[in-house]
Every structure is written in structure tokens, then in C-alpha cells.
Chains A and B, each alone.
Chain A
Amino acid sequence: MKHLLSVTDLDAAAATGLLDTSDRLKQALLGREVRKLPTLRGRTVITLFYEDSTRTRVSFEVAGKWMSADTVNVSAKGSSVSKGESLRDTGLTLSAMGADCVIVRHPASGAAHRLAAWSDRDRDATGTHTSVVNAGDGTHEHPTQALLDAATLRDRLGSVAGRRIGIVGDVLHSRVARSNVFLLATLGAEVVLVAPPTLLPVGVEQWPCRVGPELDAELPTLDAVMMLRVQAERMRGSFFPSAREYAVGYGLSQERAALLPEHAVVLHPGPMMRGMEIAPAVADSPGAAILAQVRNGVHVRMAVLYHLLAGAPE
């Protein structure tokens, strides 16, 4: 595995392999006095974030450090990027400095793909094989989020294959939704999308999932439900009339949560708008695995770094 750009690059075996590695890393760290593994010592991992993020960036940084890699964080603000340096030049500069891995989050869909293409193309000039990890590109994908969601589902439900997972909310603008739909389908789950029609992408009928017309009808049949973040600016774009109407139609209130089966898991990629897409009590209930998602995030990202950087370069 050279880069991790999209979950569609992973077949079932590769995805399962990553999840297994994540589990074993969790095992290896459990109860250790020294919560550090020497495996990526001497590797340099650089996070390059063009969008604000605490959660994902810190998660990657901790993952790198627990594997003994040298991790450096670059935030687009206050760097040469704000002086107009292109993404390509920034990526090449980091490669030339010896970055074995660049973890990039960028507002343009496809940014990680381009960075990987330039990195491969200019490898001789920079002298380094640089792997690229997509930490979120525009509205396209967020592969490690889907992987940690799948890991959390595996932990809570025992398996992903054959399970029915609901994804609710702004699918149109959600990279988390895209990655989850395609990864869960690859792993053999049945996915149902529930959203206002204005927030479903054109051509969603061709995605490997179903569109459910009504949330209340779907909830009793689900093994897990993933609530997507809703951004307030979508109201200005006439996607839906008001926060109240959205919450009434698509929010996971306590009454709605009671419709879920006992074993069902509630997921949210964070950060949450308590009271909008998810009721505070639901977010804090035992069925919610939101903090488990965060914990798994570190192990999953360690597994990704392991598979990209520990072995011989491809």
C-alpha cells in the first residue's frame, strides 16, 4: 500500500487487514508500562492541514508518536501557504525535507490524489518516497474516519458484514458519508441513507446503498445509526428552511433513539451540534459509541501508518 486516498482503493481483504492490525495494536498497547512502539522510529510523518481540525490532527499526531515516528504539524495559516505557495510546491518541499508520509486535509476534493500524483512523479527530484494519507478532501472522502467507524462497529456488534447501518443527514456535503457508504458496502454491510432530498447527491441511486424515505420507519431495523454533522450555512443555501424543521425531521431525539433496537450503536463523526442532529441525552447514552470512535481513531491511524511505512517501500 503506497497511499491511502480513498476507501475504494481497499478491497475487503485489505480493509479487514487494516482493522485487524488496528485491533492488534490496541492489544499490544494494552496494559503496557511504556505506551510506545519502536516500529516507525526514524520515519518522518508530517500533517498538512488546510482546514481547522483538532480532533483528526491530534489523533494522527498521537498515532505517529506512539509508533515512535517523528511527527511535525503544518497548518496552512501562518505558513508560506498564506503567502500564495501552491499545494504542489508545499508538498514537494515537505518531500524534499524527507517526509516519509504527508497527511493532508484540504478543502478541494481530489487534493490528496493530486498530491500523491505529484509525489510519485517528482520522487527522483525530491529523493524521497512520500506516502500520502487523505485526512479529508473537500466533500469527497475521509478514509480513516470510515475505518475507525468500522472498527467501532466491529467492537460493539462483533461484525460489520450482514449488519444494517443507517447514515442520516447532510450526505451531499459529507466526505464522511461517502467514505462510510463505500467502505461498509465493501465489508458486506447494508447501508441506508436518510436525508432531506436537497441533501442527497445526484446519482445516489447508483451508490451501493438504499435511500430510506423516513427516519422513523428505518430506526427499528438498524444495527447502528450514524448521525452526520449539519452545517448552519446550509440553511442559507436553501437546502432546508430552518434548524427546527431539520431537527424535527432528521434529528435523533430521545424519542427516536428509543425506536432503535437494544443492541444498536449510535455513531457521530464529531463535532456534534447537540440539540440539532442529536439530542444531548442520546449523545451521552450507553448506546452511543462516540468516545470509542475517538479512541479507535488513534489505533486505526497507527495501523494505517504501519501499513504504509513499516515495510519495504513499494
Chain B
Amino acid sequence: MTTRRTGDLLITHARPYGEEAVDVAVRDGVVVEVGAGLSAPAEVMDAEVLDAGGLVLLPGFVDLHTHLREPGGEESETIATGSAAASLGGFTAVFAMPNTDPVADTEVVVEHVWRRGAEIGLVDVHPVGAVTVGLAGERMAELGTMARSRAQVRMFSDDGRCVHDPLVMRRALEYASALDVVIAQHAEDHRLTAGAQAHEGVVASRLGLAGWPATAEETIVARDCALAREAGAALHVCHVSSARTVEVLRAAKAAGVRVSAEVTPHHLLLTDATLTGYDPVNKVNPPLRTAEDTKAVRAALAHGVIDVVATDHAPHAVQYKDTEWAAARPGMLGLQTALSVVVHTMVEPGLLDWRGVARVLSERPAEIGTLPDQGRPIAVGEPATFALVDPDGAWTVRGAALASRASNTPYEGMRLPATVVATVLRGRVTARNGKVRA
């Protein structure tokens, strides 16, 4: 009896993109055959068999925006616990934001993050490099060195902070275009959001919370689109939260600007109505806005004005969240609930079908992040990197039961549709039935 090789797998009775049921045979991490009745071919006799029982097979999800907190913030999350959460959520690649301690603005830090991710091996961890040194917004970081390092950084961001100085942003875009990497902007004019705690609107004014106006996001996006057009560079807009920003993006895309945009699951589902009671689990940056905004971003995602869903997974240990509102750190968990929220807000109302889900959670993010082996079609010759989804599974979210070190989920106690039954990374099952497999 030969020992089973990792990377060999037989998936039976799966429905790629929710379509016809097929079997998928994988050898050495690559799809070798797709068809009916592939039950017992000789080459894959010792392969693990994953009986999908009619469930939906999608390309593995790619998250362009995750906070793994390591190095420096390990009390909230580590690359290991974050990878576990990612693979349980159906993700096979995550882009780890650089606002760690130390900041990921040198090759040393990005190589450390990349290497840890590879050692753990549950998900491909792609470090995002800082745009400016120390995220201070003044001096450009060594984008080239980070791009050429073993971490192969493809995306740069000062996320958490906005690259506020237009000259610095312009130079970064110009420099990035030569390197063929993308700058991802956290769009927030901090002069308009000084002391802000919540979306500037009726709810915040009732609750006495200083407002974060939508214009603070929209004006930076408009400015950056103009700068990107002039530089011929690729711009990515993080966590779009407002209807007005959607309008700016629509116009910019129509004018041919190379801009892509992401929306978080929480901005698809939640509004500032959740703020009464002041539970800081709902505190996030950019803030939860109104029902009109959630409606606008959903429509934008359906039509491609917003390209992808990115979680902005932001774990915070309990001492940073279980405080009065003003003292709490903003951010919510997102990796394990992303698919369910997308199904609830986009698939159930008929705004996206499963092909659309594949596009926004896998194909487009892989494209924007230039990952050649993720977000690929489910076809012979392609890497066997999948998420297997039960569209009819429903589950009740319990923060304490999630794999992240922290438990700050805004969906605590909520019943959400759809579960990720298995995750496969190049033919190796990394998660199955709610348990991680190293």
C-alpha cells in the first residue's frame, strides 16, 4: 500500500459554481480530470475522497484585506490563528495588512510574515507592504525592495491611516506603476474626521457621538482617482462604505481610470442602527452607515462598480473592545462569517449567483492581487484550490467558538445562511467540517 500523497484528492458529486454535479480528480495539487463517475480510477486510488454530496464548489476565496496582527499584536491574533480562521472561512489566500508592530515597511518584516504563513501552511499569506515609513504618511517606504523580496509584495497600503498628503500619494502611485504593484488607499481625510466615533448622521447625533462624514471618504477617493489617472497607475480603494463613494468610482471607471474597489461584508449588512446601546463591537473604521449606503454598495458590488468583497478582518482582544465607546478600538472579525454574509445580502436577494460569488470572493481579488494560482477556473490543468459550500447550511455565530484569538464579531447570536464545509489548497484539505487540518 503506497502512502497517500498530499495533493491527491477526489471530490465526488460537487457542483462547480452551483451548476451540474461532477467529480473532480486532483493529482499533485492540479486538477487532472473533471467528469461524472470518477469513482475509482487507478492513479488516484490512494487519494483522499471528499464526498461533496451535491454541495457548491467554488474557487478558494482570496481576501485582499486582513489584519493578522503579528508581529506585535499577538494578544488579538497571530498568523497561525488568523490562518485557521481564514481556511475555516473558505479562504485560500489572504493579504495581511502592514499596520503591525513593527510596521511592515521593510523586507525584514514582510519576509517574516510570509515565512510564518508558509510554515503554518493553511492559507497563502501575502504580506501587504506599507506605502510610507512607519505609516506616517511622509516618506515613501522601500516599495521596490519589498516587491523583490521573497515575500513578493504586490500590494501596498497604509491601511488604518490615509496617505493624506497628495504629493506623497502622487509619488507613490508613480513609483508603484513602474513596479507594476497596486496602491490600496484607506480613504479618510483625517482633518474632517478628527475625534470621529460614528457615521455623521441622525443616529450619531442622537447618541452624542462625534460624526465621521461620508465626504471624508469620497473626497479622498475622487482625488486619488485623478492622481492615478495622471500617473497611469493602478489604485485600489479599501472598504468602500458610502453611496457617494460609489458614484465617484462609477464616474472614474467610466473615464478609464485603473481603479478597483472593495467592500466589507459588514458594510453590506449592518447599519448605524446597531449603535444604540453603545456596544463597541459595532465600532469600525470606516463606520457603519445608513440603509441607503448598504443598498448602494450591494448594487455596486452586483454590477462591478465595486470589484470585490474583502473582509477587513480586524481582531481585537477583549480589553480593547469591552470598554466605553470612545476608548474602544475600531474593527470587527470577518474571515469566518464572510461567505455567509455575502450569501445573505447578495445571493438570497438575487443580486449575485454563485458565479458572481466566485468573481467577487475569488477571481477578481486574485486578479487585483496578481496571484497566478488563485481565483482560477475549476478545470483540468488548473490548481485544485477550492471552497466547498453548503448553500443550505445555517449556523449561529458564537464569537467564542471562532478560531480567531479574539471574539469581536458583530454577528454574535445571529443565525446566518451557508457554511463552508471544506477548503482545499492545491489539493490539500486545509479545513473540513469546521476543523482545521495542518
CB distance from A250 to the nearest CB of B (A): 20
Question: What 1/0 mask marks residues of chain A from 49 to 90 whose CB sits below 8 Å from any chain B CB?
Answer: 000000000000000000000000000000000000011100
Q: Which of A39-47, A104-112, A289-297 contacts B (4 or more CB under 8 A)?
A: A104-112
Which chain A residues numbered 196 to 246 have a C-beta less than 8 Å away from chain B? 201-204, 206-207
CB distance from A183 to the nearest CB of B (A): 14
Q: Of B204, B277, B319, B326, which one neighbours A108 at CB under 8 angstroms?
A: B326
> With A and B bound together, what is the CA distance between A63 and B300 in angstroms?
57
Chain B residue numbers with a CB within 8 Å of A107 are 326
Q: Of A106, A141, A203, A207, which one neighbours B324 at CB under 8 angstroms?
A: A106
Chain B residue numbers with a CB within 8 Å of A207 are 205-206
Chain A residue numbers with a CB within 8 Å of B205 are 201-204, 207
> With A and B bound together, what is the CA distance between A107 and B209 in angstroms?
11
The interface size of chain A toward B, counting residues with CB under 8 Å, comes to 26
> With A and B bound together, what is the CA distance between A233 and B211 in angstroms?
18
Q: Of B202, B207, B213, B319, which one neighbours A109 at CB under 8 angstroms?
A: B207
Q: Of A108, A141, A204, which one neighbours B327 at CB under 8 angstroms?
A: A108
Chain B residue numbers with a CB within 8 Å of A98 are none
Chain B residue at smallest Cβ distance from A86? B323
Question: What 1/0 mask marks residues of chain A from 105 to 122 whose CB sits below 8 Å from any chain B CB?
Answer: 011111101100110000
Q: Is A126 an interface residue (CB 8 A)?
A: no
Q: Of B202, B322, B323, which one neighbours A206 at CB under 8 angstroms?
A: B202
> With A and B bound together, what is the CA distance between A109 and B207 in angstroms?
7
Chain B residue numbers with a CB within 8 Å of A140 are 207-209
> With A and B bound together, what is the CA distance between A106 and B326 in angstroms?
11
Query: Is there contact, CB below 8 Å, between B323 and A109?
Result: no
Q: Is A16 an interface residue (CB 8 A)?
A: no
Chain A residue numbers with a CB within 8 Å of B325 are 108-111, 114
Given A108-B324, A108-B327, A202-B211, CB of A113 within 8 Å of CB of B200: no
> With A and B bound together, what is the CA distance between A282 and B326 in angstroms?
38
Query: Is there contact, CB below 8 Å, between A114 and B278?
Result: yes
Q: Is B201 an interface residue (CB 8 A)?
A: yes
Which chain A residues numbered 171 to 202 have a C-beta less than 8 Å away from chain B? 175, 178, 201-202
> With A and B bound together, what is the CA distance between A178 and B203 in angstroms?
13
> With A and B bound together, what is the CA distance between A114 and B324 in angstroms?
6
Chain B residue at smallest Cβ distance from A181? B206
CB distance from B45 to the nearest CB of A (A): 56
Q: Of B203, B208, B211, B323, which one neighbours A137 at CB under 8 angstroms?
A: B208
Q: Is A139 an interface residue (CB 8 A)?
A: yes
CB distance from A206 to the nearest CB of B (A): 5
> With A and B bound together, what is the CA distance between A246 and B171 in angstroms?
44
Query: Is there contact, CB below 8 Å, between A110 and B207?
Result: yes
Query: Is there contact, CB below 8 Å, between A88 and B202?
Result: no
Give the number of A-B contacts (CB < 8 Å): 70
Chain B residue at smallest Cβ distance from A237? B194
Dominant SS at the B interface?
loop
Q: Is A138 an interface residue (CB 8 A)?
A: yes
Chain A residue numbers with a CB within 8 Å of B202 are 202-203, 206
Of B197, B207, B211, most A-chain CB atoms within 10 Å: B207
Query: Is there contact, CB below 8 Å, between B201 and A203?
Result: yes
Query: Is there contact, CB below 8 Å, between A87 and B206?
Result: no
CB distance from A235 to the nearest CB of B (A): 16
Q: Of B197, B210, B213, B324, which one neighbours A87 at CB under 8 angstroms?
A: B324
Q: Of A88, A106, A113, A204, which one neighbours B277 at CB under 8 angstroms?
A: A113
> With A and B bound together, what is the CA distance between A294 and B34 in angstroms?
82
Chain B residue numbers with a CB within 8 Å of A139 are 208, 210
Given A109-B207, A141-B208, A202-B205, CB of A88 within 8 Å of CB of B326: no
Query: Is there contact, CB below 8 Å, between B322 and A109?
Result: no
Chain B residue numbers with a CB within 8 Å of A206 are 202
CB distance from B210 to the nearest CB of A (A): 8
Chain A residue numbers with a CB within 8 Å of B206 are 178, 203, 207
Q: Of A106, A109, A141, which one neighbours B209 at CB under 8 angstroms?
A: A109
Chain A residue numbers with a CB within 8 Å of B322 are 88, 118
CB distance from A300 to the nearest CB of B (A): 21
Chain B residue numbers with a CB within 8 Å of A106 are 324
Chain B residue at smallest Cβ distance from A205? B202
Query: Is there contact, CB below 8 Å, between B208 and A138?
Result: yes
Chain A residue at smallest Cβ distance from B200? A202
CB distance from A126 to the nearest CB of B (A): 16
> With A and B bound together, what is the CA distance between A87 and B328 in angstroms?
12
Query: Is there contact, CB below 8 Å, between B208 and A109?
Result: yes
> With A and B bound together, what is the CA distance between A234 and B322 in angstroms?
31
Which chain B residues numbered 181 to 223 have a C-beta less than 8 Å away from chain A? 197, 200-211, 213
> With A and B bound together, what is the CA distance between A106 and B278 in angstroms?
14
CB distance from B361 to the nearest CB of A (A): 35
Query: Is there contact, CB below 8 Å, between A110 and B324?
Result: yes
Query: Is there contact, CB below 8 Å, between B211 and A109?
Result: no
Query: Is there contact, CB below 8 Å, between A88 and B207?
Result: no
Q: Of A86, A178, A202, which one neighbours B208 at CB under 8 angstroms?
A: A178
Chain A residue numbers with a CB within 8 Å of B208 are 109-110, 137-141, 175, 178
Chain B residue numbers with a CB within 8 Å of A110 are 207-209, 278, 324-326
Chain A residue at smallest Cβ distance from B319? A86
CB distance from B275 to the nearest CB of A (A): 9
Chain B residue numbers with a CB within 8 Å of A117 are 277, 279
CB distance from A181 to the nearest CB of B (A): 10
Chain B residue numbers with a CB within 8 Å of A201 are 205
Chain B residue numbers with a CB within 8 Å of A204 are 205
Given A140-B207, A140-B208, A201-B205, CB of A109 within 8 Å of CB of B200: no
Of B202, B206, B323, most A-chain CB atoms within 10 Å: B206
A-B contacts, 12 listed (Cβ < 8 Å): A87-B324, A108-B326, A108-B327, A109-B208, A109-B326, A118-B322, A138-B209, A140-B209, A202-B201, A203-B205, A203-B206, A207-B205
- Shortest Cβ-Cβ A-B pairs, 3 listed: A140-B208, A110-B278, A203-B202
New A-B pairs, 12, CB < 8 Å, besides A110-B326, A113-B278, A202-B204: A86-B323, A107-B326, A108-B326, A109-B207, A109-B208, A110-B207, A114-B278, A114-B325, A118-B322, A137-B208, A138-B208, A178-B208
Which residues of A are interface residues toward B (Cβ below 8 A)? Answer: 86-88, 106-111, 113-114, 117-118, 137-141, 175, 178, 201-204, 206-207
